[in-house]
Amino acid sequence: MQSSPFSLRPNVYSPIPCYDWKKSFHPRILTEVEALPEECRQVIMLYDYQDVTYRDLAELLGVSPGTINARLTRARALLRARLSPCRS
């Protein structure tokens, strides 16, 4: 399986600097972020973990800032649901 430039695993071909996520986050959070759909994983990693702006994300991914907002909202909702203590 080919590594995505938005993966939590290092990718030497990625134009985005690699960050050592494992030092900062609980393994369960990392697992759930990696399990997100690609579009959600891209925006949450770049916006929340690398401080890329909506405008820059929109340009980088070739979508509107509104689409970035929708993807980020969806990603956070998925993570919230997956990490909820009430989840069975």
Domain boundaries, the chain: 21-83
Instruction: Give the tens place of pLDDT for each residue, 32-87.
Output: 889 999 999 999 989 988 889 999 999 999 999 999 999 999 999 999 998 887 65
pLDDT at 40: 94
pLDDT at 11 over 50: no
- The confidence score (pLDDT) of residue 29 equals 83
Instruction: Provide the whole-model pTM.
Output: 0.67
CATH of domain 21-83: 1.10.10.10
Residue 60 has which token pair?
């980088």
Which pLDDT does position 8 carry in this prediction? 46
CA distances from 15 to 57, 61, 66, 74, 80 (A): 13, 13, 24, 25, 29
* Distances, alpha carbon 27 to alpha carbons 10, 24, 34, 65, in Å: 16, 9, 11, 30
